[in-house]
């Protein structure tokens, strides 16, 4: 907080709003007392100008294309760290020592088994249920086994982090009608996940590529799914319910579901003959209802730093796997067409993280409809850390206001005799 204050006078009533300045010089007006002092509320569809919380976890500057977890640059972490280490630092605020990391890894392994009743739920779900719905169902089911999920205990967040890759792998197998693969506690987090998903040991190249993708998705400050996790948790709902809320919010194609939508779109363009100009024109036509999936972002208005890293990684993985993918050529053509088109340039629409991730996921062998579960796996440490922070800060229950535009008071008129 600074000495600065903003004075707002409305209908003759005045309120003094303190100005809060963040670590990186972000300025906010604290309107805590606005309604109490003046009777006014603010209205901000889509929260475009509204900070819902203060946080020490992730810093993002959309204009400069900066993303940092706990002060570490995303490119530095993607190049030099690993997903479990990143998860630890998101959760506890600092990178672990070697001993802390070993202990954390051991705890994750020790708590990774999924109760049989929870696994059985997957088999009972209607065939063809979307993998994100399956993942929601098994995540919320954990609350039936672990009853103290609302408490801020290490047991709770370790339990969530430890079991989630096993659940995601089971969902991926189940969606293809395949049997589950045993959880191997001799393997590390990502290697075990890939083995459980594919039923065979994963090469180091794949483990590294997957690890990097998970790091890139690990947190993204406040966004549709993360804010949902904090919102659900603010009612003192348990951690499994809160994370399930995040999974549902992530599913939509405007958020995490974009990775599935991008690949389906690239396939459709390929099937149609590969004329990218035609699809760029459609995206510009407001009446077409068509958007270029994987383009645009609410906060990144220059470039998405994650997309830059992913694009490089995509080239490397395809080369290493010997995959020649026409979709990559189409994606690059689309990117070039959009980057040189005034419609996209003037609206600051650039490829986002989901533009290239789907191509890598497909090359690794994941079915298209399971892509968003991989985003969820990456985002989990962020969700859990934000849930933990929200509870540590003792934040009040989330309860926005509204402006009512419906009918005024009217009398009931019976439409038929009773
Ligand atoms: N294709 C064509 N036009 C677009 C696109 C697009 N992908 N995205 C935005 N626009 C246009 C939009 O029509 C609007 O134009 P106008 O000002 O003339 O009305 C302008 O750009 C601003 O768009 P908006 O929808 O008001 O922006 P927003 O901040 O509310 O939405 C977004 C951001 C990501 C939902 C949107 O850009 C979009 O739908 N992108 C495609 C879906 C996508 O790739 N989502 C993944 C986001 S990254 C992963 C994650 O972190 O969730």
Q: Whose Cα sits closest to atom 39 in ligand 1?
A: 254
| 76 classed as catalytic | no
User: Model confidence at 1, in pLDDT bands (50, 70, 90)?
Assistant: low
Tokens (6 digits) for 253: 């194609």
Distance CA 350, CA 86 (A): 26
Distance of CA 200 to the CA centre of its chain: 28
Whether 294 is in the pocket of ligand 1, judged by its Cβ within 6 Å, is yes
For 331-343, give the secondary structure using H, E and C.
HHHHHHHHHCCHH
Index of the ligand 1 atom closest to the CA of residue 262: 44
Choice among 130, 217, 297, 304 that is catalytic: 297
Cα 249 to averaged position of ligand 1 atoms, centre (Å): 17
Q: 192-198 contacts: CB < 8 A, separation 24 or more? A: 192/112, 192/165, 193/165, 193/166, 193/168, 193/169, 193/377, 196/165, 196/166, 196/169, 196/170, 197/168, 197/169, 197/172, 197/173, 197/366, 198/365
pLDDT of residue 2: 67
Q: Whose Cα sits closest to atom 44 in ligand 1?
A: 294
Whether residue 3 has pLDDT greater than 80: no
Distance CA 338, CA 51 (A): 31
Helix (H) or strand (E) holding 5: strand 5-10
> In this predicted model, what pLDDT tens digit does every residue of 117-143 receive, in sequence order?
999 999 999 999 999 999 999 999 999
Average pLDDT on 189-209 reads: 95
Distance CA 234, CA 155 (A): 19
pTM: 0.94
Given a contact cutoff of 8 angstroms between Cβ atoms, the answer to whether 292 and 338 are in contact is: yes
Whether 220 is in the pocket of ligand 1, judged by its Cβ within 6 Å, is yes
| 255 classed as catalytic | no
Average pLDDT on 310-317 reads: 86
Distance CA 146, CA 141 (A): 9
Report the percent of the chain where pLDDT is more than 70. Answer: 99
User: Model confidence at 401, in pLDDT bands (50, 70, 90)?
Assistant: very high
Report the percent of the chain where pLDDT is more than 90. Answer: 87
62-71, 84-93, 101-110, 351-360: range with lowest mean pLDDT = 351-360
Distance CA 119, CA 122 (A): 6
């Amino acid at each position: 907080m600074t000495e600065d204050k903003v004075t707002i006078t409305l209908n003759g009533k005045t309120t003094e709003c303190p100005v809060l300045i963040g670590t990186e010089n972000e300025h906010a007006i604290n309107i805590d007392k606005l309604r109490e002092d003046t009777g006014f509320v603010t209205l901000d569809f889509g929260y475009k100008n509204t900070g819902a919380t203060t946080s020490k976890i992730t810093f993002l500057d959309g204009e400069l294309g900066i993303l940092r977890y706990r002060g570490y640059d995303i490119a530095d972490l993607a190049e030099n760290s690993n997903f479990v280490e990143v998860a630890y630092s998101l959760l506890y605020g600092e990178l672990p020592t070697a001993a802390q990391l070993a202990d954390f890894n051991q705890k994750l392994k020790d708590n990774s088994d999924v109760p049989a009743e929870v696994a059985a739920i997957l088999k009972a779900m209607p065939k063809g249920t979307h993998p994100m719905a399956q993942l929601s169902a098994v995540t919320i089911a954990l609350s039936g086994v672990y009853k103290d999920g609302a408490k801020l205990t290490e047991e709770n967040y370790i339990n969530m982090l430890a079991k989630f890759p096993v659940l995601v792998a089971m969902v991926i197998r189940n969606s293809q009608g395949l049997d589950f693969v045993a959880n191997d506690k001799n393997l590390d987090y990502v290697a075990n996940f890939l083995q459980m998903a594919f039923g065979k040991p994963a090469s180091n190249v794949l483990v590294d590529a997957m690890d990097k993708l998970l790091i890139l998705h690990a947190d993204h400050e406040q966004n549709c799914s993360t804010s949902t996790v904090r919102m659900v948790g603010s009612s003192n709902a348990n951690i499994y319910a809160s994370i399930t809320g995040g999974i549902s919010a992530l599913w939509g194609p405007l958020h995490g579901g974009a990775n599935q939508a991008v690949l389906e779109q690239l396939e459709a363009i390929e099937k149609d003959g590969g004329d990218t100009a035609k699809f760029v024109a459609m995206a510009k036509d407001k009446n077409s209802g068509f958007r270029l999936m994987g383009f645009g972002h609410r906060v990144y208005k220059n470039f998405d730093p994650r997309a830059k890293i992913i694009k490089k990684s995509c080239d490397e993985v395809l080369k290493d796997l010997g995959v020649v993918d026409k979709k990559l050529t189409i994606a690059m053509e689309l990117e070039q067409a959009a980057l040189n088109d005034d419609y996209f340039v003037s609206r600051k629409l650039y490829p986002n993280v989901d533009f290239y991730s789907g191509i890598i996921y497909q090359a690794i062998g994941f079915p298209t409809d399971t892509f968003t579960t991989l985003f969820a796996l990456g985002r989990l440490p962020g969700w859990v850390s934000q849930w933990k922070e929200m509870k540590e800060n003792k934040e009040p229950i989330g309860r926005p206001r509204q402006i009512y535009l419906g009918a005024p008071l009217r009398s009931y008129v019976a439409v038929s005799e009773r």
